[in-house]
Amino acid sequence: MKKKRSTRRQETLQQILHQTREKVVTDIEKQLGQELDPRRIDIAMDTGDWAAFELSEGIDQRLLEMRYKTYKEIADAFRRLEAGTYGVCERCGEEVPVERLKVEPFARYCVPCLTQIEALQEAEKETGKLYTL
Ligand SMILES: [Zn+2]
């Protein structure tokens, strides 16, 4: 059964994503020492060639790549928000509470599902058997 999603919730989710994006963009720009140009970063990520950025000595590229990955995840989350699938548990289809998304904007499961998934994964590790959800 599909519940109608409230506009209010959509607005809050949008806000969360905007804030998350702003933060990561600021982090990337601070690290680069220049404005974020996603296209140039795309190319650098693909080729591993950061020469165009004249990165300062000792810059943590792994951290930069991690932040960029988050940046891409936010873009994906915005697409899912548009499609109405953002903030919906991928397992049971229930809405993931806003409070949880504030802490973990990319949470794909609600807490009860996540707890079950983790318990299954734990059991798989112990027994070496695969359990399907
Ligand atoms: Zn769920």
In a structure prediction context, what are the per-residue pLDDT tens digits for the chain, which is 133 residues long?
A: 455 657 899 999 999 999 999 999 999 999 988 888 888 888 888 887 777 777 777 788 889 889 999 999 999 999 999 999 999 999 999 999 999 999 999 999 999 999 999 999 999 999 888 776 5
**Domain, as residue range, for 67:** 7-127
Give the distance (Å) from ligand 1 centre to CA of residue 41.
Answer: 35
**What are the residues whose beta carbons fall under 8 Å from the beta carbon of 17, sequence distance 6 or more?**
74, 77, 78, 81, 86, 105
Q: Which residues surround ligand 1, an ion (CB under 5 A)?
A: 89, 91-92, 110, 113
Number of domains in the chain: 1
The residue type found at 121 is Q
Give the distance (Å) from ligand 1 centre to CA of residue 113.
Answer: 4
**What are the residues whose beta carbons fall under 8 Å from the beta carbon of 57, sequence distance 6 or more?**
none
Cα–Cα distance measured from residue 27 to residue 64, given in angstroms and rounded to the nearest whole number: 9
Let me know if residue 133 belongs to a domain: no
Let me know if residue 1 belongs to a domain: no
Give the distance (Å) from ligand 1 centre to CA of residue 85.
Answer: 13
Let me know if residue 42 belongs to a domain: yes
Cα–Cα distance measured from residue 94 to residue 33, given in angstroms and rounded to the nearest whole number: 42
CATH number (domain holding residue 64): 1.20.120.910
Cα–Cα distance measured from residue 73 to residue 79, given in angstroms and rounded to the nearest whole number: 10
